[in-house]
């Protein structure tokens, strides 16, 4: 794909994610269901954090494209390294995890992850923008241009560290409020919850490996 075309695509993707993140974080306070938006607000949900992550990633990608267009190659090289690290370690595996885990649990029992009370607050299109469109965007990025993956050990350590931070945030919110971020967690005993978190980490690691596999199959080493 031509650099100018990539720049246009990345700019539009950045604007889209910025708009979606803005939309979900500016729901009027009086419209928020009390059982959903407790301590931590929207920032306790992986879906919302992922929207911010994607906006940052596409912003960095657009910057890299612009630097290449104006022939600032030394600066572009550094930004491209950051772009590839963001995409490989976080943007692709997290967006894939958000989409697949959400719709799997939603199909099984939506009240565990997305209570029906949210239908009156979050429009249909916004739900799909947060939970569905993120996966096609991630796949399109892989097909649009190659990304250099870090050494496997480094990539998995970074991914595990970010996962640890989010789990710590979830547990902190529970310690403060006595309420779980997702009603699903209330179904587990402490050992069961630990196993659930471990299983979720294993799944997101598999998505990391899947992204690396796709990148290698399409673009080679």
Q: Grade residue 33 by pLDDT with cuts at 50, 70 and 90.
A: low
Is 197 a member of any domain?
A: yes
Mean pLDDT of 168-172: 95
C-alpha 44/C-alpha 200 separation (Å) is 17
Cβ-contact 56, 106 below 8 angstroms: no
Q: Does residue 30 lie in a domain region?
A: no
Let me know if residue 100 belongs to a domain: yes
Give CA separation, 91 vs 24, 69, 143, 207, 208, in Å: 19, 24, 15, 11, 10
* 33 within domain boundaries: no
CA neighbours within 13 Å on the CB side: how many for 68?
16
Say if 94 falls within a structural domain.
yes
In whole angstroms, give the CA distance from residue 60 to residue 113. Answer: 31
Q: Which residues contact 11 (CB under 8 A, 6 or more apart)?
A: 58, 62
User: Would residue 120 count as lying in a domain?
Assistant: yes
Question: What is the pLDDT at residue 37?
Answer: 53
Which domain does 119 fall in, by range?
5-25+39-219
Asked, for residue 31, whether it belongs to a domain, the answer is: no
The predicted structure's pLDDT at residue 136: 96
Structurally, the chain folds into a number of domains equal to 1
- Sign of the dihedral defined by the CA atoms of residues 94, 96, 100, 103, in that order: positive
């Amino acid at each position: 794909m031509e650099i100018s075309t990539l720049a246009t695509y990345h700019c539009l993707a950045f604007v889209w994610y910025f708009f979606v993140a803005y939309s979900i974080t500016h729901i009027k306070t009086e419209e928020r269901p009390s059982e959903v938006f407790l301590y931590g607000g929207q920032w306790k949900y992986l879906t919302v954090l992922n929207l911010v992550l994607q906006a940052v990633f596409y912003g960095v990608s657009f910057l890299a494209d612009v630097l290449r267009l104006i022939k600032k190659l030394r600066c572009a090289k550094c930004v491209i390294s950051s772009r590839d690290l963001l995409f490989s370690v976080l943007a692709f595996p997290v967006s894939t995890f958000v989409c697949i885990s959400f719709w799997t649990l939603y199909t099984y029992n939506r009240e565990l992850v997305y209570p029906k009370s949210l239908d009156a607050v979050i429009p249909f299109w916004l739900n799909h923008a947060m939970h569905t469109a993120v996966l096609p965007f991630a796949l399109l990025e892989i097909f649009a241009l190659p990304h250099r993956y870090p050494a496997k050990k480094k990539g998995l350590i970074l991914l595990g560290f970010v996962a640890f931070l989010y789990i710590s945030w979830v547990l902190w919110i529970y310690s403060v409020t006595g309420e779980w971020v997702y009603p699903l967690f209330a179904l587990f005993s402490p050992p069961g919850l630990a196993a659930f978190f471990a299983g979720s980490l294993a799944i997101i690691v598999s998505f990391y490996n899947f992204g690396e596999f796709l990148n290698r199959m399409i673009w080679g080493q």
